[in-house]
Amino acid sequence: MKKIKVFDVREDEQAALQQWIERHADEVEVVLTEDSLEGEHLEKLEDIDGVTISQTTAFNPDYFKVLAENGIYHIAQRSAGFDMYDLPAANETGIKISNVPSYSPQSIAEFAVTRTLQLVRHTHRIDRNAAVQDFTWDLALQGRTIESLKIGVLGTGRIGSRAAKIFHGFGAKVYAYDIAPNPELEGILTYVDSLEDLVKDIDVLTLHIPGSPENKYVVNEAILNQAKPGLLVINAARGVVLDTDALIRKLDDGTVAGAAIDTYENEGPYFRHDWSNKPLEDSVLSHLLERDDVLISPHVAFYTDEAVQNLVDIPLDEVLSYIENQTAEHIVNP
């Protein structure tokens, strides 16, 4: 019987994993480990036919050769993002990478809208004051309605299109930029010709583009300089699409009034790990956490029951497909 090894197993994945294992008990054996694919695990692959991992930091390209030497030519990544892989290095050894391009776009879209509401209505400040029994009102708590805002959506794929529909449902005017406009969104939003045009007159910029090399720092200081003072920036996409240092400078000069960061360009060592009572080694992340105008969340926009189920089922289906047919549906380096 063929054998699949699942690395980086989290507690929240256990129930979904057991369900998949039970459904395929007659087809394949599944081995689970909380450890990552590195170190001694690279020496214990001789009886493994396929692997799925949930890597967030850079994947050592030297490992591709080890996998190939053990007859493993496919990695199923349990996320949409695959920027942690050196795809040219994978291609050199014949390793295919697959991802989960859509595990719950509605979850991420709803989270982006939720964070917008929190910034617009200053709920983090209200909650902080109430926690210390300060029930006074002041201008720092005075908010706005979503329907009074102009929303800019960068990227109108599976997630961005849903975010646009939700904002439209609130009565907001929604604008968008995408290299491939979606005609089905007519009546929901208005497309503009460039990112520069998008940021010129909006109140909220929400990011929904992939973290590809082409998109690195696509939202940078030059782009943010085009905005009118008071812009809110929401990043529930990938950390690399937003230049964090530029964001901080624009927060300091008032161009950006607030930001909600669910993905951070150097999040790997921190997000999903407990750093309680330990000093952070990343001074930029420490600074963001200390700011009153920034909301930080640890890459949880997707984190719903539906998403976790799909993030388990789809990669395991991909691994089984590759073992049996040497192909999978969501390979990113064909």
Q: Taking residues 292-315, what's their average pLDDT? A: 96
pLDDT at 48: 98
pLDDT at 102: 87
What top-level class would CATH report for the domain 2-103+305-325? alpha beta
Contacts of 32 (CB under 8 A, 6+ apart): 5, 6, 9, 17
The answer to whether residue 25 scores a pLDDT higher than 90 is yes
pLDDT at 114: 98
Which pTM value belongs to this model?
Answer: 0.85
pLDDT at 157: 96
Most distant CA pair in the chain, distance: 67
Q: Is 330 a catalytic residue?
A: no
Out of 122, 238, 265, 318, pick the active-site residue. Answer: 238
The answer to whether residue 209 scores a pLDDT higher than 90 is yes
pLDDT at 83: 86
The answer to whether residue 109 scores a pLDDT higher than 90 is yes
Structural Rg of the chain based on CA atoms? 22
Name the CATH topology of 105-296: Rossmann fold (3.40.50)
CA gap 325, 334 in Å, rounded: 15
Locate the domains of the chain by residue range.
2-103+305-325, 105-296
Compute the Cα dihedral for 214, 219, 221, 222 and give only its sign: positive
Average pLDDT of the chain to the nearest whole number: 96
**Residue 111, number of CB atoms within 10 A of its CB:** 22
Q: Is 115 a catalytic residue?
A: no
**Residue 296, number of CB atoms within 10 A of its CB:** 16
Q: What are the φ and ψ backbone dihedral angles of 250, each rounded to 5 degrees?
A: -75, -30
CA gap 111, 247 in Å, rounded: 20
Out of 115, 122, 299, 330, pick the active-site residue. Answer: 299
Q: What is the pLDDT of residues 222-232, one digit of tens each?
A: 999 999 999 99
Same fold, 2-103+305-325 and 105-296: yes
Q: Taking residues 184-210, what's their average pLDDT? A: 97
Q: Taking residues 42-48, what's their average pLDDT? A: 94
Confidence of residue 314 (pLDDT cuts 50, 70, 90): very high
CB 202 within 8 Å of CB 150: yes
Q: Taking residues 23-27, what's their average pLDDT? A: 96
In total, the chain counts a number of residues equal to 334
Q: Is 238 a catalytic residue?
A: yes
